[in-house]
Amino acid sequence: MLKYIQKFTYWAIYAGVSLGVVSNIVPFPAPTFAEDSSLGIVMRRGHLRVGIDAAIGGPYMFWNAKTQFYDGFELEILQEIASRLNIEPRPINVPWTTQPENLASRQVDLLLSAREEGALENGDTKGKFIESLPYYRSAQRLLIRADGTQIKSLRDMIGKRVGVVANSGGAAIAETYNKNRGNAIRLFSSRDLDRMIIQLRDRQLDAMILDEPVAVWQVRNNPNFIIVGEPLIPIRLVAIINKDDVSLKKAIDKALTEMIQDGKLEQILKRWNLWESQKTLKSTKDLPASVLAIITPYSVYR
């Protein structure tokens, strides 16, 4: 489980602060990097090798049996970035836990696979990678059956059977809550998401705490489920790039900025029912370039 999620969750719950609120923090100036040849190498090759993990499932990135190819909102973002660079996107399926190693050994050019901002800035991966601009602001959400409307917040789950994916943000929230409330929640942790969804449907679980895209996906595919409560631990998703590949990072950031500016990112997220939560992620096509250059790196997901 990510250490920074644990620390943030503990602080928020212990202090009694709403986890759905993000404070306005004045950003540090953007760092200045030297140029390199990483973009030129990708352009000459003609395709962008992107580490993904289809096992993460919908709606991030998954294998579509009907089309016999990958699908998901992250795939569409990847395809749009590649289109703007005039190169071919080439997703390469790599298990999530070994993705950093594959990136560091240059078997892929970047990772676009539900990677959270700052998540690799610890342990063995600290200082090895840089991040793109954010493309989505995620959070943890409470998923319940439509007939379980007595649950509206964490407080309502005291004594309830709650499922979480092992080593996830949802697990961090529930475990920290239990630590401070004497195991008030009857917690069930598993890596088998599909099994827990069936348990929720069959009333063996009362609720689940899931990544927002996953919760939205489950509601989309099961009308008997609903999402309740405020978003918990908002966190931004980013692409991960080798620290020396600054020119490639700049090209990815430029493409993402254009997608935000012309509304293409909004269009993709709306198609996957993920735009509603992006309250401050609006199209900025009417703003002058001088303003965009200042606000885009910091204000898009504030």
Tens of pLDDT, residue by residue over 219-237, are: 999 999 999 999 998 999 9
Same domain, 70 and 215: no
Same domain, 113 and 244: yes
Same domain, 126 and 142: no
Token duo for residue 129: 């990678």
- Give residue-wise pLDDT tens across range 128-151: 999 999 999 999 999 999 997 789
Structural element, H or E, at residue 269: helix 264-271
Domain boundary (235, 255, 276) is at 235
Q: Which region among 14-23, 37-46, 48-57, 76-85 has the lowest average model confidence (pLDDT)?
A: 14-23
CATH code of 269's domain = 3.40.190.10
Same domain, 213 and 286: no
What is the domain extent for residue 71? 38-135+238-299
Q: Give the pLDDT of residue 31.
A: 47
- Angle at which helices 3-15 and 169-181 pack, to 10 degrees? 40
In this structure, is residue 148 part of a structural domain? yes
| Mean pLDDT for the stretch of residues 276-295 | 47
In this structure, is residue 26 part of a structural domain? no
In this structure, is residue 25 part of a structural domain? no
In this structure, is residue 293 part of a structural domain? yes
Neighbouring-strand partners of residue 116:
237
Same domain, 61 and 205: no
Distance separating alpha carbons of residues 102 and 108, to the nearest angstrom: 6
Q: How far is CA 8 from the centre of its chain?
A: 17
Report whether pLDDT(187) > 50.
yes
Same domain, 231 and 246: no
Domain boundary (193, 208, 235) is at 235
Same domain, 242 and 107: yes
Number of domain units in the chain:
2
Distance separating alpha carbons of residues 173 and 169, to the nearest angstrom: 6
In this structure, is residue 20 part of a structural domain? no
Same domain, 223 and 189: yes
In this structure, is residue 93 part of a structural domain? yes
In this structure, is residue 70 part of a structural domain? yes
Mind giving me the DSSP string for 1-31? --HHHHHHHHHHHHHT--TT-----PPPPPP
In this structure, is residue 10 part of a structural domain? no
Same domain, 128 and 270: yes
Domain boundary (235, 265, 284) is at 235
Same domain, 216 and 243: no
Report whether pLDDT(27) > 90.
no
Measuring CA to CA, which residue among 89, 100, 107, 98 is closest to residue 48? 89
Distance separating alpha carbons of residues 271 and 133, to the nearest angstrom: 21
Mind giving me the DSSP string for 159-221? TSEEEEETTSHHHHHHHHHHHHHTS-SEEEEES-HHHHHHHHHTTS-SEEEEEHHHHHHHHHH
Q: Which region among 100-104, 169-173, 185-189, 198-202 has the lowest average model confidence (pLDDT)?
A: 169-173
Q: Based on the number of CB atoms within 10 Å of its own CB, is 68 exposed (0-12), middle (13-18) or buried (19 or more)?
A: exposed
Q: How far is CA 66 from the centre of its chain?
A: 25
Please give the residue that has the higher pLDDT: either 57 or 291: 57
Same domain, 208 and 74: no
Same domain, 264 and 130: yes
Distance separating alpha carbons of residues 248 and 196, to the nearest angstrom: 40
